Amino acid sequence: MVYLEHGPEYGAYLLAMVFYYVGGLAIILYGAYLNRNYLLKREFKLARIRGGIWPFFKRFLPWLLIGLLVWSISAFKATDYYLSLYSFTMTESHLTVNDVFEDMRNNELYRFDIDGIKNLGTPSVGLLKGYKLLDSKREGPIVKKINQVVVAQGYPFLPVVKLYIYEVNGKSVKALRTAYLVYPQSPGGRLSELFDFPFEMFFWDVS
């Protein structure tokens, strides 16, 4: 089963994937295209504007930063959609890990082993969200299960998400491994590879 109540609307999911695969890069390339003359010409005589690398960069920089920010947020959000769908419960998104831990402490659905998580290592700052993955799926005679606590860390201005994956035994956290999702990897495909479990997005709200 999946936790359909935690899943995104069809349009929101589609928008996140479009921005992840195309949108952020398109903004950067469009900004470079708009200001290409500053790079191709050394001087605009009538307007008395000099061209070159530095004038181009000053005009291109806002486009670059906006594109990278959109790219990084969409990478985090696309990953979040898949993790949320397979999470029994989760925290809100925060910028510090202490706020994530506070959400965990107040979570009535699951008592997170916060001390165990801290002892194994945690992210510090970034775009952060915690999840309690819990699901099982039968593939022929084999039943695959996931039972982990995951903290996802988004990097501002980079289309990269770092995953802190804590292995759970009962209600205790026993081990930590880390992994990355890096553009242009598919969020669902990368998670399926990391957990040896099929992460799939169901479009249940297409009407």
184, 78 contact by CB (below 8 A): no
Supply the pLDDT for residue 159.
95
Angstrom CA distances, 192 to 61, 85, 156, 170, 197, stand at 36, 13, 25, 23, 5
Q: How far apart are the first and last CA of the chain?
A: 22
46 pLDDT more than 50: no
Ranges 37-46, 105-114, 163-172, 197-206: which has the least confidence: 37-46
Q: What is the pLDDT of residue 44?
A: 55
Q: Among 32, 21, 31, which residue's Cα sits nearest to residue 71?
A: 21
Structure tokens at 4: 């359909």
φ and ψ at 51, to 5 degrees?
-95, -175
Q: What is the pLDDT of residues 97-118, one digit of tens each?
A: 999 999 999 998 877 889 999 9
- Longest Cα pair distance anywhere in the chain, in angstroms? 76
**Per residue in 51-92, pLDDT tens?**
678 888 888 999 999 999 999 999 999 999 999 999 999 999
Higher-pLDDT residue of 82, 171: 82
- Span of 32-36, 39-43, 101-105, 180-184 with lowest mean pLDDT: 39-43
- pTM for this entry: 0.88
